[in-house]
Amino acid sequence: MGKIEFYKGLILKEFYFSGHLSCADLSEKIGKSLPLTMKIVNELMNEGIVVESGYAPSSGGRRPVMYTVKADTIYIVAVAMDQLVTRISIMNMHNDHVGDIAEFELPLQRNPTALTTLGEKIVQVIDSSGVEKKKIIGVGIGMPGFIDFKKGTNYSFLETTDKTITQYLSDKIGLPVYIDNDSSLIALAELRFGAAQHKKNAMVINIGWGVGLGMILNGELFRGHNGFAGEFSHIPLFNNNKMCVCGKSGCLETEASLLVVIEKAGTELQEGRVSGIGQPFPTGHFEQDWKIIITAALKGDQFAVELLSDSGYKIGKGVAILVHVINPESVILSGRGALAGKLWQAPIQQALNEHCIPRLALNTSIEVSTLGYQAELIGAAALVLENRMRDHSQRVGQERQSFELGI
163 by Cβ neighbours in 10 Å (0-12 / 13-18 / 19+) ranks as middle
What per-residue confidence (pLDDT) applies to 60?
66
pLDDT band, very low/low/confident/very high, at 317 (cuts 50, 70, 90): very high
Query: What pLDDT digit, counting tens, does each position of 334-383 carry?
Result: 999 998 989 999 999 999 999 999 998 888 999 999 998 999 999 999 99
Residues 207 and 140 grouped into a single domain = no
In a domain, residue 407? The reply is: no
Which amino acid would we find at residue 303?
A: F
What per-residue confidence (pLDDT) applies to 401?
43
Residues 207 and 319 grouped into a single domain = yes
Residues 249 and 347 grouped into a single domain = yes
Within 10 angstroms of residue 218's Cβ, the number of other Cβ atoms is 7
Residues 147 and 207 grouped into a single domain = no
For the chain, the distance separating the N- and C-terminal CA atoms, rounded to the nearest angstrom, is: 16
Query: What pLDDT digit, counting tens, does each position of 381-393 carry?
Result: 999 998 876 554 4
Q: Which domain holds residue 44?
A: 3-70
Using the 3D structure, point to which of 70, 98, 120 is the last residue of a domain: 70
Residue 47 has pLDDT above 70, yes or no: yes
Residues 143 and 275 grouped into a single domain = no
What's the average model confidence in pLDDT over 124-142? 95
In a domain, residue 190? The reply is: no
What per-residue confidence (pLDDT) applies to 59?
67
Please report how the helices 375-405 and 182-193 are oriented relative to each other, as an axis angle in degrees rounded to 10.
90
Q: Residue 84 sits in a domain of what CATH number?
A: 3.30.420.40
- Across the beta sheet with 365-368, the strand order is 220-222, 211-217, 202-207, 330-334, 365-368
Query: What pLDDT digit, counting tens, does each position of 293-312 carry?
Result: 999 999 999 999 999 999 99
Residues 53 and 81 grouped into a single domain = no
What per-residue confidence (pLDDT) applies to 390?
56
Residues 177 and 253 grouped into a single domain = no
What's the average model confidence in pLDDT over 304-326? 95
Residues 20 and 87 grouped into a single domain = no
Q: Are 389 and 10 in contact (CB under 8 A)?
A: yes
**Rounded-to-5 percentages of helix, strand, coil across the chain:** 45, 20, 35
What per-residue confidence (pLDDT) applies to 352?
95
Query: What pLDDT digit, counting tens, does each position of 89-108 carry?
Result: 999 999 999 999 999 999 99
3-class state of residue 397 by DSSP: helix
The DSSP secondary structure of 34-77, one letter per residue, reads HHHHHHHHHHHHHTTSEEEEEEPPPSSSPPPEEEEE-TTS-EEE
* Best-predicted range by mean pLDDT (54-63, 133-142, 395-404): 133-142
Query: What pLDDT digit, counting tens, does each position of 213-257 carry?
Result: 999 999 999 988 878 888 899 999 999 989 888 888 999 999 999
Residue 136 has pLDDT above 60, yes or no: yes
What share of the chain in percent tops pLDDT 70? 94
Residues 345 and 392 grouped into a single domain = no
Pairing of strands 147-148, 153-154: antiparallel
Pairing of strands 85-92, 147-148: unpaired
What per-residue confidence (pLDDT) applies to 389?
60
Query: What pLDDT digit, counting tens, does each position of 158-167 carry?
Result: 988 889 999 9
What's the average model confidence in pLDDT over 322-342? 93
Residues 274 and 348 grouped into a single domain = yes
In a domain, residue 177? The reply is: yes
List of residues 6+ apart from 201 with CB closer than 8 A: 216, 217, 218, 326, 327, 328, 329, 330
Task: Return the DSSP state at 243.
Answer: B
In a domain, residue 53? The reply is: yes
Within 10 angstroms of residue 275's Cβ, the number of other Cβ atoms is 18
Q: Residue 26 sits in a domain of what CATH number?
A: 1.10.10.10
Using the 3D structure, point to which of 16, 36, 70 is the last residue of a domain: 70
User: For residues 228 and 292, which has the higher predicted lDDT (pLDDT)?
Assistant: 292
In a domain, residue 406? The reply is: no
Beta strand segments in 278-349, E: 330-334
Per the structure, the count of domains in the chain is 3
Residues 230 and 330 grouped into a single domain = yes
Q: Which residues sit opposite 205 in a β-bridge?
A: 213, 333
What per-residue confidence (pLDDT) applies to 279?
76
3-class state of residue 96 by DSSP: coil
In a domain, residue 107? The reply is: yes
Residue 314 has pLDDT above 90, yes or no: yes
User: For residues 111 and 407, which has the higher predicted lDDT (pLDDT)?
Assistant: 111
What share of the chain in percent tops pLDDT 90? 72
What per-residue confidence (pLDDT) applies to 140?
98
In a domain, residue 23? The reply is: yes
pLDDT band, very low/low/confident/very high, at 398 (cuts 50, 70, 90): very low
List of residues 6+ apart from 177 with CB closer than 8 A: 138, 139, 140, 141, 152, 165, 166, 169, 170
Residues 365 and 384 grouped into a single domain = no
In a domain, residue 314? The reply is: yes
Query: What pLDDT digit, counting tens, does each position of 165-189 carry?
Result: 999 999 999 999 999 999 999 999 9
Across the chain, mean pLDDT equals 90
